[in-house]
């Protein structure tokens, strides 16, 4: 017999975990908190092996902090977190045991103040002490203090200094205003007195009053006028003596007597009508209206003469054609006048007339015996298109058998178009070929003696032209 003896083991273990790792499993045993537990296992030789586990649990911390800083300390860095203003932020750190530790920081920010003050003192209060600063005159100084939060507070003081005034016054009163009371001082007659007052800022002001006393004046005035006389806001229309109590330069009564003599003016009216202008007493008038000229009568008063004038403007102008006559062989001729009666030489009583041929055109306008005539010349066009007024296809002699443009004319024009109509206005021939040839036939037949009208549109030297005419088929 060979006997083998397997060892029985007894083993102890220790482990440390974080609180947030509970419950903790170990070899089928559950730890709900720190402590020691033992289990019996078997070795490979089938013998008991006793293992004891001691579990240590490290705490997870949650901590809150609060700090107060001044505004000029922003941005504020704390444990890798940056505060740009007051508020709360969290950071997760690790304990010495390697467990999470959550710290919440609440940051308070105390304001840094900038404040301005203004004070006014009297001149005799200088030097003036403020927060350790001394003012020897008006001006501005700045001091830096601390707020209850320990932050800087900048205060700027602007000091105004009110002067002590010495002022003199002069017043004039009427004799019936005596005795005269002024700032507590009584004047029984003209003279000088002084009183000490306070300015609006509460500083002394020494005022000296010199009082003058004025008497009442009596005055007489002699005046002559035409029709009416305005005196001290009153209009007088009759001669006579008038008395008024006014105030003199000192504000006292001044009795004035007016001895007034009134003369009268004369008026007349005339009515005239003239062409273009009217000359009246050396003045030339070119517009209708009412005009007044003033003369002097024997009494030295104005004599008013009113002219009721009607001036008829005989200006008449033919401005221009509304479009180029040679382009369309028709245009409107425009005339402008301010007169009422308006007649073209053609007999048309219209503002514009239609020009269909070159020549001299005139228009006549009249009103109230005034008359004007204007003329306008419509030049002949520089392009003449020659076409025959008859063709003879029925003769068959090869002469003048077709209606067409001469070769030289064809070389001058472009953008050509011809339309030929019968006497009922029906289109019987159309072509855009300037080398066209029409044999006078309509639907294959030639009607001897028939008259057809044609309309040609073309461009010559860059200008459009329109030519109308008629052709007879013989």
Rounded average pLDDT over 173-184: 86
Last residue of one domain, picked from the residues 110, 143, 177: 110
**pLDDT-derived band of residue 390, with 50, 70 and 90 as boundaries?**
very high
Query: Which comes out higher in pLDDT, residue 427 or 348?
Result: 427
Counted domains in the chain: 8
With vertex at residue 467, the alpha carbon angle to CA 465 and CA 470, rounded to the nearest 5 degrees, is 170
Rounded average pLDDT over 408-437: 91
Q: Report whether the peptide linkage leading into residue 149 is cis, meaning its omega lies within 30 degrees of zero.
A: no
- Same domain, yes or no: 103 and 176: no
Instruction: Give the span between the Cα atoms of 474 and 458, in whole angstroms.
Output: 27
pLDDT value at 426 more than 90: yes
Query: Which comes out higher in pLDDT, residue 331 or 34?
Result: 34
Lowest average pLDDT, out of 227-236, 253-262, 283-292, 378-387, goes to 378-387
Residue 363 contacts residue 347 (beta carbons within 8 Å): no
- Same domain, yes or no: 294 and 360: no
Whole-number Cα distances in Å, 454 to 220, 273, 457, 467, 474: 103, 56, 10, 8, 17
Instruction: Give the span between the Cα atoms of 397 and 304, in whole angstroms.
Output: 95
- Same domain, yes or no: 92 and 21: no
In a domain, 4, yes or no: no
The pLDDT > 90 percentage for the chain reads 24
**pLDDT-derived band of residue 97, with 50, 70 and 90 as boundaries?**
confident
Whole-number Cα distances in Å, 96 to 82, 93, 190: 25, 10, 103
Query: Which comes out higher in pLDDT, residue 101 or 250?
Result: 101
pLDDT value at 422 more than 70: yes
Tell me how many helices (H) and strands (E) the chain has: 2, 43
Instruction: Give the span between the Cα atoms of 207 and 171, in whole angstroms.
Output: 13
pLDDT at 452: 96
Rounded average pLDDT over 10-24: 88
- Same domain, yes or no: 69 and 140: no
Count CB-CB contacts under 10 A for residue 361.
19
Please provide the DSSP assignment of 69-123 as one string: EEGGG-SEEETTEEESSSEEEEEEEE-TTS-EEEEEEEEEEEPPEEEEEEEEEEG
Lowest average pLDDT, out of 129-133, 323-327, 346-350, goes to 323-327
- Same domain, yes or no: 103 and 65: yes
In a domain, 383, yes or no: no
The pLDDT > 70 percentage for the chain reads 94
Mean pLDDT of the chain: 85
Eight-class DSSP state of 340: S
pLDDT value at 355 more than 80: no
Whole-number Cα distances in Å, 264 to 269, 270, 304, 434: 17, 21, 11, 92
Instruction: Give the span between the Cα atoms of 172 and 247, in whole angstroms.
Output: 13
In a domain, 271, yes or no: yes
Give 367's contacts (C-beta < 8 A, 6+ positions apart): 312, 339, 340, 341
In a domain, 1, yes or no: no
Strands 331-337 and 316-321: antiparallel
Lowest average pLDDT, out of 47-51, 223-227, 336-340, 377-381, goes to 377-381
pLDDT at 284: 92
pLDDT value at 354 more than 90: no
| 298-324 as b/e: b if 16+ CB within 10 A | eeebebebebebebbbbebebeebeee
pLDDT value at 112 more than 60: yes
Least Cα distance to 423 among 445, 449, 398 occurs for 449
- Same domain, yes or no: 416 and 341: no
Residue 170 contacts residue 182 (beta carbons within 8 Å): no
pLDDT at 330: 63
In a domain, 94, yes or no: yes
User: For the chain, how many residues are written?
Assistant: 474
pLDDT at 362: 83
pLDDT at 382: 61
Q: Report whether the peptide linkage leading into residue 9 is cis, meaning its omega lies within 30 degrees of zero.
A: no
Rounded average pLDDT over 414-426: 93
pLDDT at 325: 60
Please provide the DSSP assignment of 230-273 as one string: EETTEEE-S-EEEEEEEE-TTSSEEEEEEEEEEE--EEEEEEEE
pLDDT value at 150 more than 60: yes
Which residues form the domain of 252?
Answer: 217-263
In a domain, 442, yes or no: yes
pLDDT at 200: 76
Query: Which comes out higher in pLDDT, residue 61 or 190?
Result: 190
**pLDDT-derived band of residue 434, with 50, 70 and 90 as boundaries?**
very high
- Same domain, yes or no: 285 and 320: no
pLDDT, tens digit, 9 for 90 and up, residues 253-288: 778 888 988 887 778 899 988 988 989 888 899 888
**What's the longest Cα–Cα distance across the chain?**
185
Lowest average pLDDT, out of 112-116, 152-156, 353-357, goes to 353-357
pLDDT, tens digit, 9 for 90 and up, residues 288-347: 899 988 878 777 787 888 989 888 888 777 766 666 665 555 677 788 877 788 787 777
pLDDT at 383: 65
- Same domain, yes or no: 425 and 463: yes
In a domain, 2, yes or no: no
In a domain, 18, yes or no: yes
């Amino acid at each position: 017999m060979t006997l083998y003896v397997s060892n029985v083991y007894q083993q102890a273990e220790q482990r440390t975990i974080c609180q947030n790792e509970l419950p903790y499993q170990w070899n089928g045993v559950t730890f709900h908190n720190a402590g020691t537990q033992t289990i019996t296992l078997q070795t490979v030789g089938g013998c008991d092996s006793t293992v004891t586990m001691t579990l240590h649990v490290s705490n997870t911390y949650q901590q809150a902090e609060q700090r107060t800083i001044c505004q000029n300390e922003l941005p504020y860095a704390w444990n890798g977190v940056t505060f740009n203003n007051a508020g709360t932020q969290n950071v997760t750190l690790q304990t010495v045991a390697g467990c999470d530790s959550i710290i919440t920081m609440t940051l308070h920010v105390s304001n840094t103040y900038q404040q301005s003050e203004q004070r006014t003192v009297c001149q005799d209060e200088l030097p003036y002490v403020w927060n350790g600063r001394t003012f020897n005159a008006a001006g501005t100084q700045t001091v830096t203090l601390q707020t209850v939060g320990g932050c800087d507070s900048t205060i700027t003081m602007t000091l105004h200094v009110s002067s002590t005034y010495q002022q003199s016054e002069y017043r004039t009163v009427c004799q019936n205003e005596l005795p005269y009371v002024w700032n507590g001082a009584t004047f029984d007659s003209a003279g000088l007195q002084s009183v000490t007052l306070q300015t609006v800022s509460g500083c002394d002001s020494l005022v000296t009053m010199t009082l003058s006393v004025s008497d009442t004046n009596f005055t007489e005035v002699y005046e002559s006028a035409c029709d009416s006389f305005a005196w001290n806001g009153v209009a007088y229309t009759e001669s006579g003596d008038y008395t008024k109590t006014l105030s003199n330069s000192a504000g006292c009564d001044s009795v004035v007597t007016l001895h007034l003599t009134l003369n009268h003016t004369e008026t007349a009216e005339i009515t005239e009508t003239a062409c273009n202008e009217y000359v009246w007493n050396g003045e030339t008038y070119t517009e209708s209206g009412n005009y007044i000229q003033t003369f002097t009568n024997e009494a030295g008063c104005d004599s008013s003469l009113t002219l009721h004038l009607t001036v008829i403007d005989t200006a008449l102008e033919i401005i221009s054609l509304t479009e180029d006559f040679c382009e369309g062989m028709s245009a409107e001729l425009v005339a402008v006048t301010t007169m009422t009666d308006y007649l073209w030489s053609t007999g048309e009583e219209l503002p514009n007339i239609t020009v269909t041929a070159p020549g001299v055109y005139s228009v006549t306008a009249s009103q109230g015996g005034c008359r004007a005539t204007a003329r306008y010349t419509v030049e002949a066009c520089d392009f003449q298109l020659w076409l025959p007024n008859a063709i003879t296809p029925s003769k068959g002699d090869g002469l003048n058998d077709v209606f067409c443009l001469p070769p030289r004319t064809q070389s001058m024009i472009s953008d050509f178009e011809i339309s030929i109509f019968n006497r009922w206005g029906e289109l019987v021939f159309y072509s855009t070929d300037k080398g066209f040839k029409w044999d006078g036939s309509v639907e294959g037949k030639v009607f001897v003696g028939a008259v057809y009208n044609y309309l040609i549109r073309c461009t010559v030297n860059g200008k459009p032209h329109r030519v109308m005419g008629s052709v007879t088929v013989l």
